[in-house]
Amino acid sequence: MQAPATGACRCVTRRARRTDGSGVAEGSRAVHVPPSGAYAGAASARATMPAMNDMSSTSGSATIEAIVEQLNEIGRAAVEASHALAQASTATRDAALRAAAAALRERCAAILQANAEDVRAAQARGLSAAMLDRLALDDQRVEGMARGIEQIVELADPLGRVIAAWARPNGLRIERVRVPLGVIGIIYESRPNVTADAGALCLKSGNAVILRGGSESVRSSHAIHACLVAGLRSAGLPEAAIQIVPTTDRSAVGHMLSGMARYIDVLVPRGGRSLVERVQREARVPVIGHLEGNCHVYVDRDADLEMAKRIVLNAKLRRTGICGAAETLLLDRGCTGAAAVVAALLDAGCEVRGDDVVQALDARVVPASQEDWSTEYLAPVIAAASVEGVDAAIAHIARYGSAHTESIVTNNAATAERFLAAVDSAIVLHNASTQFADGGEFGMGAEIGISTDKFHARGPVGVEQLTSYKYVVRGSGQVRP
């Protein structure tokens, strides 16, 4: 988690740190301002979509002022809703989640229709294949969202859990107890499934959430958000617990970053490097996230060849547009099956950019540049280097990696343990694909993202990572001498 970018005294209550509404980025396009309070409901979500640009004739300054007021109203409602969620029972929150999952299934056709419109618009704008893959939904992916929410229901409720307890010689009994973070702001690009995952995880962990999806997925995200609101309503929870920013105007992001510190406790960016860098640079509250996923697979000299080919192909090509996709292949010079691994990638349609040693393994390998070792392709392209053993692989990862996910393929237990202990990344695997870097695969039901930070949350950010703690102290009349 990134430290706040202010010089405020750390002992000051966070909600009182900022009292102004500054920080909105200059330049504006258009915004729809719904009637007061309407932003919280599903009906408003549907209503805002076709009228998204109905203020296009308004002056830029007036539009920015409207955005600021709208977002501040959303923030105030979120804070109020967060108090209700923190006190809501596990059964109530779980009932809302079950109803949301049911709504996703019932409204699947409408969600897919909205998504088809998003995909057509994205294709017309020339979005990359990786971005289109992240954007596109089908029956299976909508069902996956519903199942993911149901898996979140089955997770243990983290709230109220006693992490540690002890007694002092003076008789004071002290407990460290899990509590929600409060209000979470999530800014994401083309992934509409983030709407469902983030909303559900925040609800399970007792947090209110303000979602700001990308313009690419605006129709899909609003359709999914309506299902979440339906779940809240059915359980009697405040609809403002899960809100979506109803404008695609970029100045809304600027205000979330630097003008809502009195409302938002933490920000989570999900998207490309430019988005994450902007959030980390401009945010006035802590940030959980990662810049990119330059993931590695190291094939050791003691690897099983068939296993290595399966893992490398899956890690690179199962889905090339996700952050857990392998981007660099490291081949031990003592690995006699290195040429077969490279050939398997090439035969599967993956471009391989290699160093001199790897180029000599197959004539189809193209030369790698220095930049390739640090590149997240999100495409059927992989960099490949020959290294002199596990220590050289560890050094390569330390120099060029992004601290996301790395895998070693070997049948040598000692070599595997050396790799797992020495590689300083959020996720390290032995004899498994990097594409397991996913909260759902970790049994978390879903995730808000993968954090490469070392403070607060690291790796998949699920329900438990969206909580903090407080100290509960019980006494019997003690006073301090």
Tell me what the mean pLDDT of segment 198-207 comes to: 96
Please give the sequence-ordered ranges of beta strands (E in DSSP) within 324-404, or none if there are none: 326-332, 351-354, 366-367, 381-387
pLDDT at site 61: 62
Three-class DSSP category at 57: coil
Mean pLDDT score of the chain:
87
In whole angstroms, give the CA distance from residue 330 to residue 385: 5
* Residue 350 CB contacts under 8 Å (≥ 6 apart), including other chains: 316, 317, 380, 381, 382
Residue 129 has pLDDT above 90, yes or no: no
Measure CA 446 to chain center: 10
pLDDT at site 60: 59
In whole angstroms, give the CA distance from residue 220 to residue 113: 8
* Residue 161 CB contacts under 8 Å (≥ 6 apart), including other chains: 177, 178
Q: Which two tokens stand for residue 475?
A: 């006494």
In whole angstroms, give the CA distance from residue 37 to residue 41: 8
Residue 53 has pLDDT above 70, yes or no: no
Residue 56 has pLDDT above 50, yes or no: no
Tell me what the mean pLDDT of segment 267-294 comes to: 86
In the chain the domains, ranked by start, together with CATH numbers, are 14-282 (3.40.605.10), 295-441 (3.40.309.10)
pLDDT at site 233: 98
Tell me what the mean pLDDT of segment 433-447 comes to: 85
The secondary element (H helix, E strand) that includes residue 429 is strand 427-430
pLDDT at site 58: 40
pLDDT at site 327: 98
Q: Is the distance from CB of 437 to CB of 462 less than 8 angstroms?
A: no
* Helices and strands: H and E segment counts in the chain: 15, 16
* Residue 304 CB contacts under 8 Å (≥ 6 apart), including other chains: 409, 411
**Residue-wise pLDDT tens digits, 109-127:** 999 999 999 999 999 999 8
pLDDT at site 271: 78
Confidence of residue 41 (pLDDT cuts 50, 70, 90): very low
pLDDT at site 62: 60
**Residue-wise pLDDT tens digits, 300-347:** 999 999 999 999 999 999 999 888 999 999 999 999 999 999 999 999
